[in-house]
Amino acid sequence: GAVVSQHPSWVICKSGTSVKIECRSLDFQATTMFWYRQFPKQSLMLMATSNEGSKATYEQGVEKDKFLINHASLTLSTLTVTSAHPEDSSFYICSARDRVSPNEQFFGPGTRLTVL
């Protein structure tokens, strides 16, 4: 099956720093990538949808200036959490969709962010 990787798998940072998370599709071209956030004991919440070469579409309540998304190639999307604060501590998961199976999303293993 299609493989999606994320890096780093976990990160601990100080409040006020920025953190970049990478999401890569390893064996297919991801025309669309999705970024989710999951707080403990809660569901995955879609943050934004990014299409290769265009600006991301953010869900209501997600600050686009705080969560910068770049989808510069068909195999890579990045999420940068700018000026991270403790309330941004969460599990961030990306998923990717390709042209061949547009109804299916392939999930990355997630990145656990802890902001001190």
What is the C-alpha to C-alpha distance for residues 27 and 18, in angstroms, rounded to an integer?
29
Identify which range of 21-29, 66-74, 77-85, 90-98 contacts another protein by CB under 8 A: 90-98
Nearer to another protein, 46 or 82 (CB): 46
Choose among 11, 18, 4: nearest CA to 77: 4
User: Is residue 30 within the footprint of another protein (CB under 8 A)?
Assistant: no
- How big is the CA angle at 65 (ends 113 and 84), to the nearest 5 degrees? 30
User: Is residue 42 within the footprint of another protein (CB under 8 A)?
Assistant: yes
By the criterion CB under 8 A, which residues form the site for another protein?
Answer: 34, 42-46, 49, 91, 93, 95, 103-105, 107-110, 112
